[in-house]
Amino acid sequence: MGKKAEQMFFKYGILMFLITLGLIFSIISPYFLTVGNITVVLRQISIVGICTVGMTMVILTGGIDLAVGATMALSSIILAKLLVSGVNILLAIILTLLVGIILGLINGLLINKMNISPLITTLGTLTIFRGITYIVTGGLPVYGFPKGFSYIGQGYVGMIPVPVIILALVYGAGYFILYSTKLGRYIYGIGGNESASILSGVNVKKVKYMVYAISGGLAGIASIVMLSRINSALPNAGIGFELDVVTAVVLGGISVNGGEGRLTGVIIGSLIIGVLSNGMILMSIGEYYQLVVKGVVLLTAVGLDNVVKR
Amino acid sequence: MNKKILTLKNITKNYPGVVALRDVNLEFEKGKVHAIVGENGAGKSTLIKIITGAIDKTSGEMYFKGEKVENNNPIISIEKGINAVYQEFNLIPALTISENIFYGYELVNGIVLDKKHMYEESEKLLEELGVKLSPNTIIKNIGIGNQQIVEIAKALVKKVEVLILDEPTASLTNSEIKNLFKIIEKLRKEGVAIIYISHRLHEVFEISDIITVFRDGELIMKKDTIEFNEDELVNLMVGRDLDKHFIKNVDSRNVENKKVLELKNICTKYINDVSFDLKKGEILGIAGLVSSGRTEIANALFGVDEIYQGHIFVNNKKARIKSPRDAMDKGIAFITEDRKNLGLILEMPIKQNTSYASLSKWSNAGIIDKVKEEKDVLDMLSNLKVRYSSIKEKVKNLSGGNQQKVVISKCLLTDSDIIIFDEPTRGIDIGSKEEVYKIMMELVKLGKSIIMISSEMPEILNMSDRILVMSSGRVVSEYKRGEVTSEQIFKDSASLLKGRDYGKKS
């Protein structure tokens, strides 16, 4: 019986944590558990959430993509410039997605061809992409977009905000890829044992191109949502964003060594971060303290998980 | 004077749903070699891990020199003089031999490492163990046989009162085994208690004083070695009568005179001018010492190592093989000797491991038909009699024999016609071995062709239709079955060794 309970905790530990957190906040603030507030939380996590799906795939292969924040910033600036110069919204969105995918492929190229480790590769491209963003804008924000554009970030379908719908679609697609396609199987396999994957005839390089391209493409989608939400492209947007994404993924139980963890855990990881910020704001805890709490939560959750695993 | 050094009383170890050890009482004496035998999953590894404190016992007591051992852990047991050489290597690939031997127990002058002293000690030990390698050689550059010897050296450099050897000869050549036995003999005279675990019964009879048989977590029998005979021992281990515990490939009637594979003058970084062919329905055995280039033939054939010169023909057509993918497309499968590092993804479930190399078979536009996949996987696993509780179980939880069968299942699902078995029965128990041989024979009956690389002489002599012997990267001789003795094969395999420091790849 004791073992059963342990297994339950291992499997659902992160979920229990989320529920406990929710209970605490709903006791402290009666406003917390209202439809309005839950919608706010979901909308808040949508941008990070979209990128966690790509990051999950990258980390599962044993890599990491530190360039997501910079990719998002550069894509959003390009989108903003396109919109301001009067390009059709749909065309501009497609081009932005392409930009994101190409930036991701650059990461894949460096990792595959130059054999630079993912950490260093994406640290390098993070800096380069950010630099280009500043060069293109001269450090100034870009704004003044056509009217319809704000619908993506601010609109609703029924009671559900559009960004939340986009997030749900991205999760769904991610889940499908990871658990129903060859690509998904190979993503897990490569992170579990790259040499065995090569000997099993898997085109490991192609899979790596794919995951970095997906991560870049999702950063492109996130940039569209972000731009539409704040209606202005800031060259310094998304600084430190990659850390939020990695935090949610790791909190969700994805092993940084690759090959282990489920996407459902990542959804919960993202929710924990969203609930935590929201709850602390409701409790009027200062921003500086919030940072400390987030760090402590990450270490506690992952630490507990490891203790239980043993 | 009490000769008992280690006493186990009523030791039980439970895992969820499994009793790994049940109420074991056992004593070990100084100056004796205690062999422990049993099939995989019999509880031998669990027993060792409890002695060394790597895992906790569920109940029971352990006494060392009459004193009860509490809160045991590997550091405490090493301090007491209990040293274990595990079947799985615990070496650090990027460090040198000497650094590995002294790892965690470095000699120092003040706070400075005494490298000179450690170098000299390592050199002395390696010489005693009969290895001609510089202590400054990096571990990852030496063969698996030499790594095993470094593991043993690592144990010997510490204070040893109890030495546990878990399958120490699995990757050693005959001369290396002889050296090891000399050392065991010397340690026995010095009063060390040796716990020797092996599947190779002739070694057990040669070296041990006392044999303890385990089966399904229980101690079945303990007697002096001279009181046992081999058949009795096998029966006790397996728990059923085996008329003979070695299956023979009785005749070559399956071999058709049709070449499915031909290598012409193949050169890679490791092999030189290798030519041979493989016929339909044939088992071609490749013998030779460790690092004589046997596995490297497989690597050349499977697109792992670059081919500098020569050509490969599959079904009389020239084949360009640049990657494992190319090889598999040509119908070649490779069952690696290193199943943990190269054959399996240990953290993945059995099902995903089994289907991993042939997902395209069940996929349409990249989407896997999981129902078909699962059906084919289940069929294959039951064909090969793999024992598991659920295909969702991680493959690392299986015993060695069952893991090997998963690797084989995975290769068979690729529907390849040419299958390379590299050390097909390394580190697996007699029952599983027998099943692996049966599988191989089924395969040739179906018209598949097998290249079998092996260090086990009985395997080579009994299973192969033809035998190639390798020495220093070259094929030195070829025999039909029955035309050769193991002595001749040993002679041939050493024929090109002179003046070469084998094991060291330049």
**Closest residue to B324, CB basis, from A182, A193, A201:** A201
Give the rounded percent of residues in chain B with a pLDDT score beyond 70: 93
Residue A10 and residue B504: Cα distance in Å, rounded? Answer: 46
Tokens 């992170």 belong to A191
CA–centroid distance for B398 within its chain: 15
Determine whether the interchain pair A198/B356 forms a contact, defined as Cβ–Cβ distance below 8 Å: no
What does the mean pLDDT of chain B come to?
Answer: 87
Does some domain include residue A139?
yes
Residue A5 has a pLDDT of 60
Residue B160 and residue B164: Cα distance in Å, rounded? Answer: 10
Residue B253 has a pLDDT of 65
Residue B246 has a pLDDT of 58
Residue A65 has a pLDDT of 97
Residue A144 and residue B255: Cα distance in Å, rounded? Answer: 79
Q: Is A238 exposed, middle or buried (0-12, 13-18, 19+ CB in 10 A)?
A: buried
Residue B234 has a pLDDT of 78
Residue-by-residue DSSP string for A269-299: HHHHHHHHHHHHHHTT--HHHHHHHHHHHHH
Residues of A in Cβ contact (< 8 Å) with B416: none
Q: Are B405 and B386 in contact (CB under 8 A)?
A: yes
Alpha carbon distances (Å) from B296 to B173, B178, B268, B293, B419: 17, 26, 8, 5, 15
Query: Whole domain around residue A270: which residue ranges?
Result: 44-300
Q: What contacts A123, CB < 8 A, 6 or more positions away? A: A66, A67
3-class DSSP state of A86: coil
Structure-token pair, residue B262: 């031909």
A97: DSSP letter:
H
Residue B298 and residue B422: Cα distance in Å, rounded? Answer: 8
As a three-state string, the secondary structure of B89-152 is CCCCCCCEHHHHHCCCCCCEECCEECHHHHHHHHHHHHHHCCCCCCCCCEHHHECHHHHHHHHH
**Closest residue to B345, CB basis, from A3, A182, A196:** A196
pLDDT in tens, B379-400: 999 999 888 889 999 998 888 8
Q: What contacts B496, CB < 8 A, 6 or more positions away? A: B471, B472, B474, B476
Residues of A in Cβ contact (< 8 Å) with B327: 201
pLDDT tier for residue B242 given thresholds of 50, 70 and 90: very low
What region, left, alpha or beta, does residue B3 occupy, with left being phi > 0 and alpha being psi -120 to 50 degrees? alpha
Structure-token pair, residue A278: 């929201």
Q: Are A215 and A54 in contact (CB under 8 A)?
A: yes
Residue A308 has a pLDDT of 62
Residue B241 has a pLDDT of 45
Structure-token pair, residue B370: 């999981």
Residues of A in Cβ contact (< 8 Å) with B304: 199
User: Which amino acid, residue B322?
Assistant: K
User: Which amino acid, residue A225?
Assistant: V
Q: In chain A, which residue's Cα lies nearest the Cα of B324?
A: A201
Does some domain include residue A180?
yes
Alpha carbon distances (Å) from B375 to A249, B355, B356, B371: 33, 11, 14, 6
Residue A175 and residue A263: Cα distance in Å, rounded? Answer: 7
Selection from A217, A223, A222, A213 nearest residue A76 by Cα: A223
Mutation site for A-interface testing, chosen from B305, B345, B390 by largest number of A Cβ within 10 Å = B345
Selection from B428, B435, B456, B388 nearest residue B39 by Cα: B428
Does some domain include residue A288?
yes
What region, left, alpha or beta, does residue A236 occupy, with left being phi > 0 and alpha being psi -120 to 50 degrees? alpha
**Closest residue to A181, CB basis, from B343, B344, B367:** B367
Residue A188: CB atoms within 10 Å: 24
Residue B506 has a pLDDT of 34
Structure-token pair, residue B179: 């050296």
Q: Are B36 and B196 in contact (CB under 8 A)?
A: yes
> Partners of B277 in the beta sheet?
B262
Assign residue A145 the CATH number of its domain.
1.10.3470
Q: Which of B214-223, B367-376, B423-432 has the lowest mean pLDDT?
A: B423-432
Count of residues for chain B? 506
Q: Does B43 touch chain A (CB under 8 A)?
A: no
Structure-token pair, residue B162: 């109890």
Q: Does B362 touch chain A (CB under 8 A)?
A: no
Tokens 């000690």 belong to B121
Q: Does B359 touch chain A (CB under 8 A)?
A: yes
Does some domain include residue A21?
no
pLDDT tier for residue B202 given thresholds of 50, 70 and 90: confident
> Partners of B212 in the beta sheet?
B36, B222
Residue B501 and residue B505: Cα distance in Å, rounded? Answer: 9
pLDDT (mean) for B264-292:
91
pLDDT in tens, B56-111: 899 999 999 989 998 888 888 988 999 998 877 788 888 999 999 998 888 888 88
Does some domain include residue A6?
no
**Closest residue to B352, CB basis, from A181, A185, A201:** A185
CA–centroid distance for A221 within its chain: 11
Residue B32 and residue B51: Cα distance in Å, rounded? Answer: 17
pLDDT tier for residue B500 given thresholds of 50, 70 and 90: very low
Does some domain include residue A82?
yes
Determine whether the interchain pair A199/B346 forms a contact, defined as Cβ–Cβ distance below 8 Å: no
pLDDT in tens, B134-176: 999 999 888 777 888 898 899 888 889 999 998 888 777 778 8
**Closest residue to B334, CB basis, from A180, A199, A259:** A199
Determine whether the interchain pair B347/A260 forms a contact, defined as Cβ–Cβ distance below 8 Å: yes
Does some domain include residue A167?
yes
What's the alpha-carbon Rg for chain A, to the nearest Å?
Answer: 20
Determine whether the interchain pair A199/B348 forms a contact, defined as Cβ–Cβ distance below 8 Å: no
Tokens 């060594």 belong to A257
Residues of B in Cβ contact (< 8 Å) with A207: none
Task: State how many domains chain A has.
Answer: 1
Structure-token pair, residue B247: 């299956």
Residue A4: CB atoms within 10 Å: 9
Long-range Cβ contacts of B223-226 (<8 Å, 24+ apart): B225/B35
Does some domain include residue A5?
no
Q: What contacts B247, CB < 8 A, 6 or more positions away? A: B434, B437, B438, B441, B462
Which pairing describes strands B309-314 and B317-319: parallel, antiparallel, or unpaired? antiparallel
Residue B433 and residue B431: Cα distance in Å, rounded? Answer: 5
CA–centroid distance for B409 within its chain: 19
Structure-token pair, residue A297: 């939560």
Residues of B in Cβ contact (< 8 Å) with A200: 324, 356-357, 410
Residue B498 has a pLDDT of 46
Structure-token pair, residue B377: 């996987």
Residue A140: CB atoms within 10 Å: 10
Q: Are B395 and B426 in contact (CB under 8 A)?
A: no
- Positions in chain A whose pLDDT score sits under 50: 1
Alpha carbon distances (Å) from A64 to A110, A123, B464: 13, 10, 48
Determine whether the interchain pair B341/A181 forms a contact, defined as Cβ–Cβ distance below 8 Å: no
Residues of A with CB under 8 A from a CB of B: 3, 180-183, 185-186, 188-189, 192-193, 195-203, 259-260
pLDDT tier for residue B243 given thresholds of 50, 70 and 90: very low
Mutation site for B-interface testing, chosen from A198, A199, A256 by largest number of B Cβ within 10 Å = A199
Selection from B40, B35, B26 nearest residue B205 by Cα: B35
Residue B144 has a pLDDT of 76
Alpha carbon distances (Å) from B20 to A8, A289, B290, B293, B375: 24, 50, 34, 39, 31
